[in-house]
């Protein structure tokens, strides 16, 4: 008899096999050697069953059937990967022991737990718990396998999280959908995230800009000149600002205060996944999902970074030696100069900005492995470069500055000067493209206070005893700015820090390390909000759709505003953490979730039905919406089709409209139908936002052109006119999710 090793994904399985069974025979869906059979899940092979698995009546969404509270949750195979599940079951019969080699975390534990439940694994289970897929880590992990029962409480917490999310999400979504006759998706994490975006957008829209005046003066002292900002209450009177400028122009002044202090700036924290996603979004415009996918490829396929789905910015003591070895490895790569200039001794067990075991949960921060990177795509290289430069920065001393603060008085008016003089670049040699003036993290605040800091690399010195001369003065008209719209990067930060404003100290502590969602799920949450039509992207900016606005307003008006607040997640994460540590019972937690679910149903039951117009933007095609509603088809049936049978997109569109082509959006299953102003998807109420307008750049989009766009991605050459004359170009379909078109000149 052999030992069955179950990895989470194929690449991981093959990597493990290369270490423990290098001569294993490849049987496509598993590898078999002398002692081990190594196979894999493909992510989630199983999931919680849809409601109609408990009763056929749930196939139609009916408010009267709510709440749905299964006594025992059923798990069902993913039809796309059922063959792999069958393979695992067959292989298990040939083995007398099992190793759970799924990702070392709550979600990986849950993936294995579902497999174990479904195929009834009764063999002894060991647990492989490692943070990277290098041969050294795998070998060491197999030498020190844990007993599976050590992770029993983590399994209970994972199971409770999944079942609780099912209860709230399934019941609340059906309640709001059937009450308001429009598909409204509700979830413990996605709804408070949508509320964050909604509240920010409302702040922006209600912002009342104030005009004010800024006075800048240039002072001369011998060969030295410097700029100061007028100090006083904010000036909203232009004439007063002009009179102050005129008063000091060309006059002599005195330095009333001159302070100099030396400061140090230390490297930014090592990356966790959320921080990596935020910086990749800011620097490269990558979505959270794209960064996660790229990081996962660097981990699984290329094996050049450690486990990326981590929430920690620190390492354990045993990681220090590996970090030193990785530094040595980098000396033979394109990072040679930076690696050669690094000081290995700076990274040690006493350096708490790097090594802080109390801040490491399941996994340490993202680190490079000992494998040299090769054959990376440009995008993979971008992410790898971020990780390497952040890693190397910790082997360098802090950057050093002199902070000069000067107060200059002219004709009883005071001007303030902040100069930051660079003495030593230190770790910032690892960040060559960075604007060092932003490094303090205070730049934005100082700009808002009109005390912008000037960064200089040459020595700065003035004599406080000498007089100065005001050689120039300028009045600038400015306006206060509204809060900025969220980007995916800033939204990730908001999700991570959500809950810090909660008044309850225990809840704040519960969310301190977690926030909304986990590093592994935040990207999926943002993608979910896009998919259901709650948010759209305008460049890098995230905006709430009319449907998203109405969803938040209805939830709050129903009296279940807890669904829109991080507070509920705080309650849950605190309890789930206690369950994972064996300090709380999962059954008691689930009972409280069921009570909350029932309360949601009761509150929505008494809510007044929203008018259909509340879900449509003024510019949306009303004709299309009316024809859908007049067909007599309720969202119960269409929603059921989209949720319970996602692959059955063959249902003809309602309203008697002729389908023109299948919707090109992956997984949608809808049909393109003709509206008054454009061609849109029949599944628009399920959240599909695909639309091609009938007129584009002066050209009418005919049925034939529509079909060509959908099939080939572009039209034939057409003639266009601009002020410079005629030119030839094609119309190209550049986004199969939204239907965005662009002119592609020949």
The predicted-structure confidence for 191-239, as pLDDT tens digits, reads as follows 999 999 999 999 999 999 999 999 999 999 988 999 999 999 999 999 9
pLDDT cut 90: percent of the chain above it: 64
Q: pLDDT at position 117, please?
A: 94
CB–CB of 402/268 below 8 Å?
no
Over residues 141-170, the mean pLDDT reads 95
Residue 625 has pLDDT above 70, yes or no: no
Q: pLDDT at position 370, please?
A: 92
Least confident window among 36-50, 161-175, 436-450:
436-450
C-alpha 38/C-alpha 26 separation (Å) is: 10
Residue 69 has pLDDT above 50, yes or no: yes
Residue 31 has pLDDT above 70, yes or no: yes
Q: pLDDT at position 506, please?
A: 57
Question: What would the pLDDT profile of 98-117 be if each residue is shown by its tens digit?
Answer: 999 998 888 889 999 999 99
Q: pLDDT at position 616, please?
A: 78
If you average pLDDT over every residue of the chain, what do you get?
A: 87
Residue 684 has pLDDT above 60, yes or no: yes
Coil, strand or helix at 73: coil
Place 652 in a pLDDT band, splitting at 50, 70 and 90: very low
Residue 627 has pLDDT above 60, yes or no: no
Residue 632 has pLDDT above 70, yes or no: no
Residue 618 has pLDDT above 70, yes or no: no
Q: pLDDT at position 451, please?
A: 55
Residue 697 has pLDDT above 90, yes or no: no
b/e for 659-698, b at 16 or more Cβ within 10 A? eeeebbbeebbbbbbbbebbbbbbbbbbbbbbbbebebee
Closest of 679, 655, 687, 660 to residue 741, by C-alpha: 679
Question: What would the pLDDT profile of 471-480 be if each residue is shown by its tens digit?
Answer: 999 999 999 9
Which stretch, 134-143, 611-620, 681-690, has highest mean pLDDT? 134-143
Residue 657 has pLDDT above 60, yes or no: no
Over residues 22-42, the mean pLDDT reads 94
**What residues pair up with 678 in beta bridges, in sequence order?**
693
Strand order through the sheet with 36-40: 25-26, 31-32, 36-40, 2-7, 95-101, 125-127, 146-147
Q: pLDDT at position 665, please?
A: 81
Over residues 130-156, the mean pLDDT reads 90
**What residues pair up with 728 in beta bridges, in sequence order?**
719
**Domains of the chain (ranges, CATH numbers):** 2-144 (3.40.50.140), 161-205+486-615 (1.10.460.10), 214-266+399-435+446-479 (2.70.20.10), 273-394 (1.10.290.10), 659-745 (no CATH)
Place 703 in a pLDDT band, splitting at 50, 70 and 90: confident
Least confident window among 162-166, 291-295, 503-507, 674-678:
503-507
Packed helices 586-605 and 152-180: angle between N→C axes, nearest 10 degrees: 10
pLDDT cut 70: percent of the chain above it: 89
Over residues 275-300, the mean pLDDT reads 94
Question: What would the pLDDT profile of 293-334 be if each residue is shown by its tens digit?
Answer: 999 999 988 999 998 988 889 998 889 999 999 999 999 999
C-alpha 184/C-alpha 193 separation (Å) is: 15
Question: What would the pLDDT profile of 167-185 be if each residue is shown by its tens digit?
Answer: 999 999 999 999 999 999 9
Residue 97 has pLDDT above 50, yes or no: yes
Q: pLDDT at position 446, please?
A: 38
**Which is it for strands 2-7 and 36-40: parallel, antiparallel or unpaired?**
parallel
Helices (H), ranges, 460-607: 488-497, 505-512, 522-531, 546-557, 566-580, 586-605
Q: Catalytic pick from 307, 314, 396, 534? A: 307
**What residues pair up with 680 in beta bridges, in sequence order?**
673, 691
Least confident window among 128-132, 366-370, 620-624:
620-624
Give the residue with greater pLDDT, 619 vs 135: 135
Residue 436 has pLDDT above 60, yes or no: no
Least confident window among 5-14, 182-191, 436-445:
436-445
Residue 637 has pLDDT above 50, yes or no: no
Packed helices 190-206 and 566-580: angle between N→C axes, nearest 10 degrees: 150
Residue 490 has pLDDT above 60, yes or no: yes
Q: Is 457 exposed, middle or buried (0-12, 13-18, 19+ CB in 10 A)?
A: exposed
Place 509 in a pLDDT band, splitting at 50, 70 and 90: low
Place 648 in a pLDDT band, splitting at 50, 70 and 90: very low
Give the residue with greater pLDDT, 494 vs 434: 494
Least confident window among 83-92, 360-369, 476-485, 597-606:
360-369
Residue 118 has pLDDT above 70, yes or no: yes
CB–CB of 473/217 below 8 Å?
yes
Residue 464 has pLDDT above 70, yes or no: yes
Place 721 in a pLDDT band, splitting at 50, 70 and 90: confident
b/e for 590-620, b at 16 or more Cβ within 10 A? beebbebbeebbeebeebeebeeeebbeeeb
Place 136 in a pLDDT band, splitting at 50, 70 and 90: confident
C-alpha 226/C-alpha 469 separation (Å) is: 11
Residue 450 has pLDDT above 80, yes or no: no
Over residues 532-536, the mean pLDDT reads 93
CB–CB of 613/198 below 8 Å?
no
C-alpha 590/C-alpha 594 separation (Å) is: 6
Quick check: is 401 catalytic? no
């Amino acid at each position: 008899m052999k030992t069955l090793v179950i990895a989470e994904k194929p690449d991981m399985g093959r990597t493990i096999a290369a270490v423990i069974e290098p001569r294993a025979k490849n049987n496509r869906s598993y590898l078999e050697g002398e002692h081990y059979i190594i196979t894999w899940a493909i992510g989630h092979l199983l999931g919680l069953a849809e409601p109609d698995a408990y009763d056929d009546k749930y196939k139609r969404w009916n408010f009267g059937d709510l709440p749905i509270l299964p006594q025992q949750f059923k798990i069902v195979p993913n039809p796309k990967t059922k063959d792999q599940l069958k393979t695992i079951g067959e292989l298990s019969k040939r083995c007398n022991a099992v190793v759970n080699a799924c990702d070392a975390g709550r979600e990986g534990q849950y993936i294995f737990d579902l497999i174990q439940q479904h195929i009834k694994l009764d063999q002894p289970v060991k647990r492989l718990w490692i943070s990277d897929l290098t041969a050294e880590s795998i070998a060491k992990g197999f030498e020190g396998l844990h007993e599976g029962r050590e992770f029993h409480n983590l399994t209970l917490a994972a199971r409770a999280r999944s079942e609780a999310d099912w209860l709230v999400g399934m019941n609340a979504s059906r309640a709001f959908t059937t009450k308001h006759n429009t598909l409204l998706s509700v979830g413990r994490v996605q709804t408070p995230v949508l509320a964050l975006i909604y509240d920010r957008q409302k702040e922006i829209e209600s912002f009342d800009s104030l005009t004010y005046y800024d006075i800048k003066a240039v002072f001369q002292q011998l060969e030295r000149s410097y700029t100061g900002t007028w100090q006083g209450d904010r000036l909203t009177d232009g004439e007063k600002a002009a009179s102050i400028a005129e008063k000091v122009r060309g006059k002599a002044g005195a330095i009333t205060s001159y302070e100099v202090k030396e400061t140090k700036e230390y490297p930014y924290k090592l990356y966790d996944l959320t921080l990596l996603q935020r910086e990749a979004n800011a620097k490269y415009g990558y979505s959270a999902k794209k960064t996660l996918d790229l990081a996962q490829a660097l981990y699984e396929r290329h094996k050049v970074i450690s486990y990326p789905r981590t929430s920690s910015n620190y390492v354990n003591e045993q990681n220090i030696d590996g970090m030193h070895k990785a530094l040595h490895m980098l000396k033979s790569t394109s990072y040679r100069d930076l690696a050669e200039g690094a000081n290995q001794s700076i990274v040690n067990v006493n350096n708490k900005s790097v090594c802080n075991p109390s801040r490491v949960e399941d996994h340490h921060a993202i680190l490079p492995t000992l494998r040299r990177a090769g054959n990376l795509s440009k995008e993979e290289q971008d992410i790898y470069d971020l990780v390497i430069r952040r890693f190397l920065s910790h082997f360098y001393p802090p950057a050093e500055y002199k902070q000069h603060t000067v107060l200059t008085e002219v004709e009883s008016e005071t001007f303030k000067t902040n100069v930051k003089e660079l003495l030593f670049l230190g770790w910032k040699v690892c960040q060559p493209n960075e604007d060092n003036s932003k490094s303090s993290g205070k730049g934005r605040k100082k700009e808002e206070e009109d005390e912008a800091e000037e960064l200089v690399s040459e020595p700065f010195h003035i004599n406080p005893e000498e007089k100065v001369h005001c050689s120039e003065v300028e009045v600038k008209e400015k306006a206060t700015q509204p809060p900025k719209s969220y980007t995916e990067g800033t939204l990730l930060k908001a999700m991570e820090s959500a809950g810090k404003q909660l008044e309850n100290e225990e809840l704040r502590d519960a969310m301190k390390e977690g926030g909304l969602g986990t590093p592994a799920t935040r990207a999926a949450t943002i993608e979910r909000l896009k998919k259901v039509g709650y948010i759209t992207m305008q460049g890098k900016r995230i905006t709430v759709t009319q449907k998203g606005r109405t969803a938040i307003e209805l939830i709050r008006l129903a009296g279940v505003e807890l669904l829109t607040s991080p507070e509920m997640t705080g309650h849950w994460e605190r309890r789930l953490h206690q369950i994972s540590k064996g300090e709380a019972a999962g059954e008691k937690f689930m009972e409280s979730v069921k009570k909350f679910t029932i309360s949601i149903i009761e509150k929505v039951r008494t809510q007044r039905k929203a008018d259909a117009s509340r879900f449509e933007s003024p510019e949306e095609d009303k004709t299309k919406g009316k024809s859908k509603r007049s067909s007599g088809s309720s969202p119960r049936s269409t929603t059921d089709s989209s949720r319970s049978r996602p692959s059955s997109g063959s249902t003809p569109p309602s309203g008697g409209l002729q389908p023109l082509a299948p919707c090109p959006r992956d997984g949608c299953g809808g049909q393109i139908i003709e509206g008054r102003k454009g061609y849109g998807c029949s599944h628009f109420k399920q959240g599909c936002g695909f639309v091609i307008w009938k007129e584009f750049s002066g050209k009418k989009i005919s049925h034939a052109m529509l079909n060509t766009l959908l099939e080939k991605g572009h039209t034939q050459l057409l003639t266009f006119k601009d002020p410079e004359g005629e030119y030839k170009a094609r119309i190209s379909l550049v986004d199969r999710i939204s239907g965005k078109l662009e002119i592609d000149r020949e």
